[in-house]
Amino acid sequence: MPLPRGLPVVDHHCHLSPRGEGVRAVERFRAAGGTHLFLATQNYEPTVPLSLDLYARQFETTCRLARQVQEEVGVRAYPVLAPYPIDLVSASKALGADTALDLHRAALDLAGRWVREKRAVAIGEVGRPHFAVPDSVTAVVEQAFRHALAVARESDCPVIVHSADLSVDGFRELAERAREAGLRPERVVKHYTRSRLEPGASGGIVPSYLARRDLVREVVAGTGPWFLETDFLDDPKRPGAVLDLATIPRRAAAIAQDPALGAERLYVPFVESVERVYGWRPEIGPEGSAE
């Protein structure tokens, strides 16, 4: 069975770079059946931004890539914006911890403003480095993370969390942090989740699962909300570091063709979960293109 007409096929977390394949990678996604991307910002320069202007320029680049993808390929890309939490490691060295934290907070405020102006749909990636950092940096990271959650609450939008793999306790701790900031855990997405969570085990935090074949087969029967993502990096120097952008449409086609599964399962990650977490549905235009 082919993918049903009108079913969006959504990669919930990827990156594109003007120095990488960019729009060409999205052509591959579209050719495989993909329709919508959540496009997370990233540093596009070799050094981390050390001024608010440089963050504004970075966010501009992400939004320009999203427009380009829509205009040139007919794939809808939703920008997700925030200063990358790991920027704090280098910025603290270059500017001192206090100035680095001030800059990071200002960049989070900027991202929140762009969400409220409808230029982006979520705050992300925010959170914690996935490797050990000096205690002095950990303190700054925690303050920045609290601010990120507060900005998401004020901007009434989801927040996409970057961190090391989380245990069940780790998910619950994250849910607690969200509640402390006045944010419902159901609006907090743990991106790059690499093992299946038992229903109810996450304290309400929404997993965005890395679309490895075996993991997709494990999670696809579960009720939502949950997402699928490639975390495609669009870095020609690191081919194969993450999944290719064509992965999710290919997995979707395999599920639709499997008589034991079937295409109805795909409405959970591609439609219902978007609606529950973001409050709207990705729509498909009359010619099958994203709008």
| CB 231 to Zn ion: min, Å | 5
Other Cβ atoms closer than 10 A to 234: 21
Report in angstroms how near the CB of residue 11 gets to Zn ion at its nearest. Answer: 11
Smallest separation (angstroms) from Zn ion to the CB of 84: 9
Within 10 angstroms of residue 1's Cβ, the number of other Cβ atoms is 11
Partners of 193 in the β-ladder: 209
* Sheet of strand 159-162, all strands in order from the earlier edge strand to the far edge: 10-14, 36-40, 76-81, 122-127, 159-162, 188-193, 206-210, 227-229
Give whichever of 42 and 289 is closer to Zn ion, judged by the CB atom: 42
| 40 vs 91 by CB, closer to Zn ion | 40
Give me the phi and psi of 210, to 5 degrees please.
-65, 130
The residue (of 3 and 40) whose beta carbon lies closer to Zn ion is: 40
First to last CA, the chain: 24
User: Interaction with Zn ion in 132-151: which residues (CB under 5 A)?
Assistant: none
Cα 171–chain centre separation: 17
Range 4-43, binding Zn ion (CB under 5 A): 40
Which residue, 109 or 235, is less far from Zn ion as judged by CB? 235
Q: Which helix (H) or strand (E) holds 229?
A: strand 227-229
Are the CB atoms for 39 and 78 separated by under 8 Å?
Answer: yes
CB of 162 to Zn ion, least distance (A): 7
Interface of this chain with Zn ion, residues 72 to 101, rule: CB under 5 A: none
- Residue 15: closest CA among 191, 159, 196: 191
Q: Which two tokens stand for residue 43?
A: 């540093």
Min separation Cβ 85 and Zn ion, Å: 11
Size of the site for Zn ion (CB under 5 A): 2
Rg, Å, the chain Cα set: 18
Shortest reach from residue 188's CB to Zn ion, in Å: 16
Shortest distance, position 22 Cβ to Zn ion, whole Å: 16
Q: In angstroms, give the least distance from the CB of 40 to Zn ion.
A: 5
Cβ distance to Zn ion smaller for residue 11 or 231? 231
The encoded tokens of residue 85 equal 């939490």
In this complex, which beta carbon is closest to Zn ion, that of residue 231 or of residue 234? 231
User: Of 40 and 103, which CB lies nearer to Zn ion in the complex structure?
Assistant: 40
CA 273 – CA 264 distance, rounded (Å) = 13
Interaction with Zn ion in 204-263: which residues (CB under 5 A)? 231
Give CA–CA dist 31/27, Å, rounded.
6
Closest CB to Zn ion among residues 104, 162:
162
Tell me the backbone φ, ψ of residue 185, rounded to 5 degrees: -55, -25
Residues interacting with Zn ion, by CB under 5 A? 40, 231
